[in-house]
Amino acid sequence: MSNEGVVEQSSAGLRELVKAGEEVIGYIYPHAPLELMLAHGLTPSLVRALPGVASGFEESLQTFACSYVRNLYNQRTNNQLPYLRALLFPSNTCDSLQNLTDIWRFRFPSDRVFRLSYPVSRYTNDDSGFIFLTQELKLLSKAIENILDRPFLESGYERAVSLIRDFRLDTQYLYSSRIVDPEVLSYAELARLVRQFYSTPLPVVASEIHDISVAIQESMESRGLSDSVLSVMTALQNRDFSSVKISRNDAKPRIIIIGGMIDPQAIASIINGIQGVTDSIITLDLLSFGFKSVFTPPVNEKGDPYEEMAKSILGAPGEPTQEGLTYRMNFLRDLVRAFDIDGIVICEQSFCDPDQFEAPSMEKAADKIGVRTVRIPIDPELSDRSRMEVRIQSFLESMSENEVM
Ligand code: SF4
């Protein structure tokens, strides 16, 4: 794989937006309030780690910085980021990002850096997390208005709520269809569509996704699989798998990919790079840039905008910052059983503390229900690509010889 090509392709959306004269605000954390940024007349674009980014200024970061934030920082120091009107960083998610924000502000004082603090958990005995995040969103909105001279416009907010709701419902349908029949759409294509929207959340991109979703709905209907898809989608939205209807039609392994800030397209590329294997073995991912953001409940347009945005963000499924360990492991167990999963690939971003805390619990939860797991350390540069491919291949072979296409 040519890294240069991947860098160009991956940052194309962001560059195109800037070239087209959009006022772009880059965001780092997948659970950023996109509706709020759009309501202020800014176009939010996900700034993510990319392969092919040369290191150079890593010594500025603390030793605990993960490979993901090192990559982001190097993009800035290597001038690989286009001009952004501002950047939104999260606070209270992990030490690496907290540190990155501080260093970024210090090293690049002319960059406009906003910070949104997330509450530790939504599972408190009161509404304190929700009240806290609502206030944080109001403060962010005021700061954007004062510093960038961009007021919050009701009309922009309404358009944004509808745009992002449509994107979520369409991609939720695509995710659910793949669980019923992983051949219906390649995982790489689904990951590409999701990435494209988070990089360029424009109506034209949502409309391409909608057309694909409609075509797949028609195909599933004609094959009599609509009810199954809807049962899966409802189960994932409500986190209740009691009514899921799935029948397995072939002997291929059904794998889920678990992790945090891992790029779904990178995973698809690794799996498709293994000889004799395609990404149709991936039934589902539980990644922050995939499932966890796609299945975040859409904002309700009827209530107070800040409260509704806070509720939506706090409804993101499966994030360790928001849901307790027991709840997440029970969800994993129920999902593995309902979707007839054979194996779990646990991806860990190199030097990511949250991923490394999480992995042993996932192994234990899978072990209890007799599902195999493999742990794969990964960095954005895919510097150990061959070893990752070999480990996944051996894992697949250990599950069932001759069953993987
Ligand atoms: S990969 Fe892990 S340590 Fe790095 S920014 Fe994400 S959560 Fe933080």
- Structural domain includes residue 13: yes
- The reply to whether 247 falls in a domain is no
The reported pLDDT for the residue numbered 9 is 43
Indicate whether 309 belongs to any domain: no
Would residue 162 count as lying in a domain? no
How many domains is the chain built from? 1
Q: Establish if 102 belongs to a structural domain.
A: yes
- Structure tokens, 85: 């009107």
Residue 97 Cβ inside 6 Å of ligand 1? The answer reads: yes
Q: Is residue 347 part of a domain?
A: no
- In the DSSP assignment, the letter for residue 385 is H
pLDDT digits (tens, 9 = 90+) for 21-57: 788 999 999 999 999 999 999 999 999 888 878 765 5
Using DSSP, state whether 287 is helix, strand or coil: coil
205 within a domain of the structure (yes/no)? no
296 Cβ below 6 A of ligand 1: no
- Provide the domain limits for residue 66: 3-155
Model pLDDT for residues 98-147, shown as the tens digit of each residue: 999 999 999 999 999 999 999 977 666 678 889 999 999 999 999 999 99
Q: Are 384 and 350 in contact (CB under 8 A)?
A: no
Q: Rounded to an integer, what distance in angstroms lies between the CA atom of residue 83 and that of residue 282?
A: 36
What is the tens place of the pLDDT at every residue in 271-302? 999 999 999 999 999 999 999 999 999 999 99
Distance 214 CA to ligand 1 centre (A): 35
Task: Name the one residue in this structure whose structure tokens are 């990435």.
Answer: 195
Task: Give yes or no for residue 66 CB within 6 A of ligand 1.
Answer: yes
Across 2-21, average pLDDT: 58
Residue nearest to atom 8 of ligand 1 (CA): 94
How confident is the model at residue 341, as a pLDDT?
A: 95
User: CATH number, domain at 109?
Assistant: 3.40.50.11890
- In ligand 1, the atom with minimum distance to the C-alpha of 100 is 5
If we measure between CA atoms, which residue out of 250, 246, 248, 262 comes closest to residue 348?
A: 262
Q: Which of 47, 102, 350, 353 to mutate to test the pocket of ligand 1 (most atoms within 8 A of CB)?
A: 353
**pLDDT 10s digits, 322-344:** 777 888 899 999 999 999 999 99
**Nearest Cα residue to atom 2 of ligand 1:** 352
132: in domain:
yes
